[in-house]
Amino acid sequence: MNFKELSVEELLNWVKEKGLEKYRAEQLLYWLYKKPAKTFSEMSNLPAALRKELEENFSLFSLKEVETIKSADQTEKKLFITEDGEFVESVIIPDKDRLTLCISTQIGCRMGCRFCLTGYQGFKRNLRTCEILDQILLVKLQGYPITNIVIMGMGEPLDNFENTTKALKLMFDERALGLSYRKVTLSTIGIIPELEELLKTFPKLALSLSLNAPDGEKRAEIMPMEKRYPIKEILAILRKYQKNRRKMFTMEYVLLKGFNDSEDDARKLTGLLKGLRCKINLIPFNPWPGSPFERPEEERVLRFQEILIEKGYSTFIRKSKGKDILAACGQLRWKKQLNPEGSAN
Ligand code: SF4
């Protein structure tokens, strides 16, 4: 068992069932999330017998770091290995006064987006709650002053709803990680029932929608899940929930050369988003070996942005980070586990 599989209430119950005082749970939570401790033996204010018992029966970390590679632009990619030998990626992205950690929620992904290497690799399994949280805790343990968390790495977080929401609760709970809602962003392609549930449970959570097309027809060509969860219905849900929120939603739009990057696409996009308070992040495609798309020219990206700004949308172009270290989602795992010989196609 790993304690980070338990909600705070479940951990309090565990302590109670053991016949221990309530303050032992608070001590345990401190060592698990606030400090965090590297080993149970470091948990100095717990009785020696309890520490011994914990050491013998529980694992403290569910992941082990196997590799860190640093890009010339200071982006760092961490590759972790799970207890069953699977690889999980996290990325640390510095930007001015921010240090953002991008974490994964699944090993692979079953959504099959055609522009995404993780989607191309297929699905292996969901990450456990402790594996989602350990990406944050292992980085914290190494002293990185992380300011923001984005749940945007490998996998679709709403396809691993139970473990992701359990991890979110532990991220926001003051007794556990105690992160601010302003500092955590979840990115999804919009799985409708879970999306509504998420917005109800975490009304203050920053949410990014992976949109990527100006209409449903085009979106279905690159995102198979569009057929099941149409973009119009997803946006209707966001319009409904925006009334209760101060924070705007973010639309992510990967620009694919010759597919969704024309002036006409930009205009259509503003039509699709009508009535939704949102900002737009444009992400010029970062090609991977064998990818079916190319990156658009800068001029075209700037023109796309200009049209959206003219229509009143705050629109940003995401800079490509860590190009020299395979920083895009799924690339390092692909190199290490699925394609160790390095044959590109
Ligand atoms: S873009 Fe996200 S949802 Fe789509 S295949 Fe990649 S990881 Fe999965």
Is there a common fold for 3-57 and 63-338? no
- Return the amino acid letter for 77: K
User: Check: CATH 3.30.470.10 for 3-57?
Assistant: no
Q: What are the CA-CA distances from residue 223 to residues 16, 25, 51, 186 (Å)?
A: 48, 45, 49, 18
For residue 326 and ligand 1, the question of a CB distance below 6 A is answered with: no
Tell which one of 104, 118, 329 to mutate to probe ligand 1, the residue whose CB is within 8 A of the most ligand atoms: 118
pLDDT in tens, 264-274: 999 999 999 99
- What atom in ligand 1 is closest to the CA of residue 189? 3
Extended beta strands in the chain, E state: 63-70, 76-82, 87-95, 98-103, 106-108, 123-126, 148-151, 184-188, 206-210, 249-255, 278-284, 315-317
pLDDT in tens, 35-75: 999 999 999 999 999 999 999 999 999 999 999 999 898 99
- Residue 324 is predicted with a pLDDT of 72
- Written as one string, the DSSP assignment of 224-278 is GGGGTS-HHHHHHHHHHHHTT-SSPEEEEEEE-TTTS-SHHHHHHHHHHTTT--E
* Helices within 124-230 (DSSP H only): 129-141, 161-172, 192-201, 216-222
Residue 29: phi and psi, rounded to 5, are: -60, -40
Q: Which residue, 308, 280, 252, is CA-closest to 116?
A: 252
Could you list the mean pLDDT of each consecutive 10-residue stretch along the chain, which spans 345 residues?
95 96 97 96 96 94 95 93 96 94 96 93 96 98 97 97 98 98 97 97 96 98 98 97 92 98 98 97 92 96 98 93 66 62 34
- What atom in ligand 1 is closest to the CA of residue 112? 5
- Residue 344 is predicted with a pLDDT of 28
Q: Which CATH class is domain 63-338?
A: alpha beta
pLDDT in tens, 146-180: 999 999 999 999 999 999 999 999 999 999 999 99
Helix (H) or strand (E) holding 55: helix 48-57
Extents of the domains making up the chain = 3-57, 63-338
Tell which one of 116, 191, 195 to mutate to probe ligand 1, the residue whose CB is within 8 A of the most ligand atoms: 116
Q: Nearest C-alpha to atom 7 of ligand 1 is from which residue?
A: 155
For residue 15 and ligand 1, the question of a CB distance below 6 A is answered with: no
- What atom in ligand 1 is closest to the CA of residue 210? 1
Q: How many Å lie between the centroid of ligand 1 and the Cα of residue 122? A: 10
Q: How many Å lie between the centroid of ligand 1 and the Cα of residue 176? A: 29
For residue 111 and ligand 1, the question of a CB distance below 6 A is answered with: yes
Are the beta carbons of 106 and 317 closer than 8 angstroms? no
| 68 three-state secondary structure | strand
Q: How many Å lie between the centroid of ligand 1 and the Cα of residue 18? A: 42
For residue 283 and ligand 1, the question of a CB distance below 6 A is answered with: no
- Residue 143 is predicted with a pLDDT of 95
Q: How many Å lie between the centroid of ligand 1 and the Cα of residue 21? A: 45
Q: Nearest C-alpha to atom 5 of ligand 1 is from which residue?
A: 119
